[in-house]
Amino acid sequence: MISGTFHRADGSPKTVIVTGGAGGIGAQTIRTYHETGCNVVIADLPFAREAAENLIASLSEPSRALYHPTNIVDWADIRLLFRTTVEKFRQVDIVIANAGIMETLRLAMYSMKGNAVDSDGARGSIVLIASTSGYFGGTGVVSYITSKHGVVGLCRSSQRVANQLQIRVNVVAPFFTPTYITGGYATEWKERGLPANTIEDVATAIVQTSADSERKGHSIMVAGKIMREIETARTALTKQWLGDEIAQVMADGGKFFDDMGGYPLPKARG
């Protein structure tokens, strides 16, 4: 059962943007948020318009839903996405970066920093979608694995600013989930009797993570009905992993940059 606050302090529904929201995990995430009473915004490419409009038509209250054609690698497109969302639903409360991770995170933080602090102590909540491939590299799909490791790193590196702005940023890392992109091997996977997520499993984990006030810089791995937090366990094992001496050096180095207020980038040469 999903718990959390899905309405603002004034009683109005929170507004959620889901990039890549017209199909697969994204579409189920839209359905799940809508069932909680949220306004939902589907951001997806123009070719997905029919799927997005059919999804909206299937919802119990289509007036609480919006499709915005968006190419997530086009800065003007995603700026317009946030502007249009605010015009229709007043503010952006939750963003699920199912596609276009870096740009979406940047604009989500910018949009949310002016929100009032909610009852959960945050101005907004952002969930980045990674994968178990963000922690393991066994499939050998180099570009995919590299990008998902990048999502995990982005969550870790964004925590300083997120905490300053009182915005929660977390990761959900699903195990194998049958969708369009896994169609080439999903049947063989099932025939071997290997466990798999459903899109409902993953959507539930995303929605629950976004609403949990205790989740700050966490990464939730989803394997069927099992959800495990990874980042806290990784941190707790740092000394065992690196040894006391190196762990202390890393901690001291981290404090050094904390005291400086962040890592100062070098000035351009020439």
Shared domain for 92 and 208, answered yes or no, is yes
- Same domain membership, residue 256 and residue 220: no
Q: Are strands 39-44 and 15-19 parallel, antiparallel or unpaired?
A: parallel
Examine residue 109 and state whether it is found in any structural domain, yes or no.
Answer: yes
Q: What is the DSSP letter of 4?
A: S
Classified as helix, coil or strand, 38 is coil
Same domain, 127 and 151: yes
Asked whether residue 188 falls in the same domain as residue 259, the answer is no
Position 1 scores a pLDDT of 65
In this predicted structure, what is the pLDDT of residue 35? Answer: 96
pLDDT of residue 266: 84
Is residue 81 domain-shared with residue 198, that is, in the same domain?
Answer: yes
Residue 28 inside a domain? The answer is yes
Q: Show the tokens assigned to 253.
A: 């180095």
7 found inside a domain: no
- Supply the pLDDT for residue 215: 94
Is 2 part of any domain?
no
Indicate which CATH number applies to the domain containing 204.
Answer: 3.40.50.720
What's the confidence (pLDDT) of residue 181? 67
Give pLDDT, residue 180.
Answer: 66
pLDDT digits (tens, 9 = 90+) for 228-241: 999 988 888 888 98
For residue 270, the model assigns a pLDDT of 74
Q: Scan for tokens 């762990």, then name that residue.
A: 247
Q: Is 100 exposed, middle or buried (0-12, 13-18, 19+ CB in 10 A)?
A: buried
Residues 206 and 269 grouped into a single domain = no
Per-residue pLDDT tens over the stretch 200-219: 999 999 999 999 999 999 99
- Can you give the pTM of this predicted structure? 0.91
- C-alpha separations of 143 from 27, 96, 122, 139, 184 in Å: 24, 22, 34, 11, 17
Mean pLDDT of the chain: 90
Q: Which residues of the chain are under the pLDDT cut of 70?
A: 1, 138, 178, 180-184
Residue 3 in any domain: the answer is: no
Give the number of other Cβ atoms within 10 Å of residue 114's Cβ.
Answer: 11
The domain total for the chain is 2
Based on the fold, state whether residues 132 and 19 are members of the same structural domain. yes
Q: Is residue 8 part of a domain?
A: no
Q: According to the model, what pLDDT value does residue 94 have?
A: 98
50 part of a folded domain? yes
Structural domain including 216 reads: 15-231
**Model confidence pLDDT, tens digit, residues 136-174:** 876 777 888 888 888 889 999 999 999 999 999 999 998
Task: Tell me the CB-side half-sphere exposure of residue 112, using CA atoms within 13 A.
Answer: 30
For the record, the structure tokens of 165 come out as 């702005």
The residue with tokens 């639903």 is 89
Instruction: State whether 92 and 167 are in the same domain.
Output: yes
